[in-house]
Chain A
Amino acid sequence: MANDKDHLQDEQWLAALAGHSDSSASPDINRQAQLVRDALLKRQEQIDRIIPESAEGNFQQLLRRLDNEGLMKLVPPKQTWSLKNIAALLWPMPQAFALATTLALGIAIGLIVQHQKKPEEQGPFAVRGEQATILLVADPLEKVVELRNGLRAVGSSPEIIINENRIVLKVKQTDPVLDYLISQRITQPTIVDGQVVLAIERARK
């Protein structure tokens, strides 16, 4: 029982630390957690001051390193994209082309890097796994609703399973479904038992 009580107090303290004080907790717990919260915030601000805000130079350096290692083809920024060249972009790296071959051999995993039309519509970093194609997005719930509505519009009935750390969307593989997914810049999704399987996760900012 003492253990349960300790854990209840731990939970209350952790909740207050996260800024969600439990009104049924002892005032001391909430007050102490608040002091720790303030101190951790100060420390985080100190640490953040060490980290440079601007990262463009470092990002360009990363692009050069990727390019030097043959991991990337630099793409003209204002090129107009058709579905065909979007599809070509999905496998832009020599390793990924090799991977396409290994896929046929049964080692089914590949990196899919997707192109987006506008900065505000920046698409997910997507990885095609054996069990699902995983999409990293800012708001998984918003994304799954968008996909569900689009899939319904092409006559499909997606199944949606919401877990704590990801949302899984399964839908029967049909041509209209695949066409719709291509229009959403999700090409060659993982197919398991005739079903397209997407797992949507939050990209933590």
Chain B
Amino acid sequence: MQTNRELIKIFHGPQHPGITGNMSVELDLLGETIKEAKTHVGYLHRGFEKLIERRTIIQAFTIVCRICVPEPDPNEENFARAIENLAGIEISQKAKYIRTMVLEMARLASLMLWMGGQSGSIGLGTIGQWSIYDRDLILDLFEELTGGRVYHMYIYPGGVRRELPIGFLDKLSQLLDHLEKRLPLYDNVFFENSTFKKRAIGVGVVNKDEALKNGYVGQVLRGCGIKRDVRRDNPYLVYDNLDFEIPTFEGCDVYARAMVRRQEIRESIKILRQIVEQMPTDGKIMQKIPKHRKFKIPKDDTFVSVESARGEYGFYMAGDGSEKIRRMQVKGPSLIHGFTLLEKLLIDEELSNVALIMNSLGICPPEIER
């Protein structure tokens, strides 16, 4: 007896426990195999670029950190550095060290959140309970330094806004000791788990030969064995003085990207320990800049980028001689990964692997649609 099989269209939609953020993927299924996929974004569009055109620098600074929700500090750093490039301001060495410390702490918090998400997508709920607790200890330190847990508003053009509190560096060292003691536990339960290896090896394989030309960034490249990182190739702040490695892994699949991120947690802890030793004790934290309505940005344009926990994050900024910014365009790492790469990887995959692949590529919808 012949059965007439036809394609069924479903929405792996915005209200779903297995999706990272608020976006949807429209799938055409034949049985349980995906034949075609299409990404839909736009559920989080606030019109940032139009809002920033109506605001002066200090008014825009309060909303710039909300462009990317899990990791807000690279946005502030890009914004401050673009304005310093246009207006010709040089910041002191102490401010550079403090900014690097804040960026590395944000990278650690974002990697802990990734671990909770990736293990939840294969059904392992224990890691979520542990890693969100460890991330909360980092957020406590942020609250002491800047005043807010999630959105800091700390990095301003010209330096940083407040001094380090007394005893802050000792607390940071104690936290790093605590985190290093917890890392073997995660290895035992998650990274060396044979169930995770069976589900992750051979899934979501990226084509290595066209990875550089198609513009992939971050762990997608490093999981294929290609060593690219903005902190090493185009250094900014104080990364020339610090000693760290760029981890890579062969395999191009979900397991390789997970092993790269596991190594990056250790490298971040190493960088933070060096910063605690090398932090200069004297120096101004904020340069003298013109007052609020008199800070005019020259007519020029520039392009800056940092390395966030998911890849290269870039801003294009143009000024026009008045106190308002003419144009600021944001390009996050998930713009290319969420569309070109995801629609290619999902063909001929099982339905249960969609959440696994989305977590592994690190797709975060607020930075795609601003």
Partners in one complex: no
Binding site for A on B (CB under 8 A): none
